[in-house]
Amino acid sequence: MSEEKVKSKDELVPIFFMGKCYEVPSSLTIQKALEYAGYQLVRGCGCRGGICGACGTVFRYPDSYKIEVGLACQTVVQPNMYIAQLPFFPGNKATYNIADLEPNGSVFTALYPELYKCIGCGTCTRSCPMDIDVLGYMSKAIRGDIEGVAKGSFDCVMCGLCSGRCPAEEVQFYIAILARRLYALHMQPRSAHLKRAINSAEEGQWTEGIAKLKAMNLDTLKKVYSEREMEPHMGPEDWIPGDTNYVNVD
């Protein structure tokens, strides 16, 4: 586990974890610094790579009144920072059958009536470790712009930091995922070519071809593999292979 175990050659800096001082190497992220300090993490650690949202963390610097937030796995320690982790923030998710919902603005208020309580303070945007304009998508939600919310919130890791600091007690990230699912299901066009491919597969159109491959001896299979035709990298979308035995022909 060499590379995860921290190298202590770096200069040590003091950090305060929940008010208590620890000396940790200056190049570490908050997450690794906690481990260096002796913590075995159970909460507040997931992907260790900035995508799962398990490691929301709040901190302050010594000579600033500001409350800062970030992902512990992505934020490098600074001398004298005061740190508390916020790995879980309660939020109530509405339950719904996504297929039955109407894709219009009233969906948001029906499921999350507190949406209108947003006072537009922008704390959520300042709190988002993914640099998402949270206020921006919340305003769009109020206006019923489902597509805007879906696209504007795409990078949300559902860490809950926005919600934790919201004076209106919103659950921004649940509104966001509702919007993305509504948009993808009801507003993005269904894929016709996918439907055709599903039908072909379900009708067993390729079973015979695959059976042939399964029955081949290894050398023949290797030969077929090596000689298979490559779709050119920069080729057009409507490229058609020379051998059309195992594709649909229009």
Interacting residues toward ligand SF4 by CB under 6 A: 118-124, 127-128, 130, 132, 134-135, 138, 156-162, 166-168, 170, 172-173
With helix as H, strand as E and coil as C, how does 43-79 read?
CCCCCCCCCCCCCEEEEECCCCCCCEEEECCCCECCC
For tokens 């090596």, the residue is: 226
Q: Assign residue 194 a region: left if phi > 0, alpha if psi is -120 to 50, beta otherwise?
A: alpha
- The least CB distance from residue 229 to ligand FES, in Å, is 41
Beta bridge mates, 100: none
18 part of the interface to other proteins, by CB under 8 A: no
Which residues have C-beta within 8 Å of that of residue 28, sequence separation ≥ 6? 6, 10, 36, 76, 77
- The least CB distance from residue 65 to other proteins, in Å, is 24
- The least CB distance from residue 51 to ligand SF4, in Å, is 10
What DSSP string describes 101-156?
Answer: S--STHHHHHH-GGGGG-----HHHHH-TT---HHHHHHHHHHT-HHHHHHHTTT-
49 part of the interface to other proteins, by CB under 8 A: yes
Q: Which does 66 bind (CB under 5 to 8 A by kind): ligand FES, ligand SF4, other proteins, none?
A: none
For other proteins, the closer of residues 121 and 184 by Cβ is 184
3-state secondary structure of 12: strand
Q: Which stretch binds other proteins (CB under 8 A): 44-52, 59-67, 109-117, 135-143?
A: 44-52
Which residues have C-beta within 8 Å of that of residue 228, sequence separation ≥ 6? none
Joined tokens for residue 230: 């490559």
For ligand FES, the closer of residues 118 and 129 by Cβ is 129
Q: Which does 154 bind (CB under 5 to 8 A by kind): ligand FES, other proteins, ligand SF4, none?
A: other proteins
Q: Which does 71 bind (CB under 5 to 8 A by kind): other proteins, ligand FES, ligand SF4, none?
A: ligand FES
Q: Which does 13 bind (CB under 5 to 8 A by kind): ligand FES, ligand SF4, other proteins, none?
A: none
Q: Assign residue 223 a region: left if phi > 0, alpha if psi is -120 to 50, beta otherwise?
A: alpha
Per CB under 6 A, contacts with ligand FES among 41-60 are 45-48, 50-55
For other proteins, the closer of residues 19 and 204 by Cβ is 204
Joined tokens for residue 121: 């303070």
- The least CB distance from residue 83 to ligand SF4, in Å, is 17
User: Which residues of the shown chain bind ligand FES in the complex (CB under 6 A)?
Assistant: 45-48, 50-55, 71-73, 157
